[in-house]
Amino acid sequence: MSLLELEHVEKSYGRGPCTQTVLRDVCLEVEAGEMVAVWGMRRSGRSTLLRVASGIEPPNAGTVRFDGRDLRDRRCEVLGGDIAYCRKTFRPSEGAVTLDHLTVGQLARGVTPSVAISRARAALERAGAEACAARRPGELDGEECVRVAVARALSLDPRVLLIDEPTIGVEMLARDGILALLRSLADDGMAIVTTTGETTGLSGARALTLSEGELHGESRRRLAPVLPLRRSA
The larger pLDDT score, comparing residue 14 to residue 6, is at: 6
* 121 and 60 within one domain: no
* 215 and 140 within one domain: no
> CB–CB of 28/5 below 8 Å?
yes
SS3 content of the chain, % helix, strand, coil (to 5): 35, 25, 40
Domain boundary pick from 106, 133, 157: 157
* 75 and 4 within one domain: yes
At residue 223, the pLDDT reads: 47
* 164 and 60 within one domain: yes
What percent of the chain has a predicted confidence (pLDDT) above 90?
70
Domain containing 125 equals: 90-157
At residue 135, the pLDDT reads: 96
Strands laid side by side in the 4-13 sheet = 20-30, 4-13, 61-66, 69-70
Mean pLDDT, the chain, integer: 89
The larger pLDDT score, comparing residue 209 to residue 75, is at: 209
Q: What is the pLDDT of residues 103-162, one digit of tens each?
A: 998 998 899 999 999 999 999 999 999 999 999 999 999 999 999 999 999 999 999 999
pLDDT surpassing 70 at residue 229: no
Number of domains in the chain: 2
* 54 and 98 within one domain: no
Using CA of residue 127, residue 132, residue 136, residue 138, what is the dihedral sign?
negative
Q: What is the pLDDT of residues 75-101, one digit of tens each?
A: 666 666 899 999 889 998 889 999 999
pLDDT surpassing 60 at residue 226: no
> CB–CB of 101/95 below 8 Å?
yes
Domain boundary pick from 115, 132, 157: 157
* 47 and 19 within one domain: yes
Domain boundary pick from 107, 132, 157: 157
* 75 and 24 within one domain: yes
* 131 and 174 within one domain: no
E strand intervals along the chain:
4-13, 20-30, 35-39, 61-66, 69-70, 83-86, 160-164, 191-196, 206-211, 214-216
Give the C-alpha separation, 196 to 175, whole Å: 12
* 168 and 78 within one domain: yes
Give the C-alpha separation, 113 to 106, whole Å: 8
* 76 and 166 within one domain: yes
* 164 and 66 within one domain: yes
Q: What's the average model confidence in pLDDT over 160-177?
A: 93
Q: What's the average model confidence in pLDDT over 24-47?
A: 93
* 169 and 148 within one domain: no
Q: The domain that contains 184 carries what CATH number?
A: 3.40.50.300
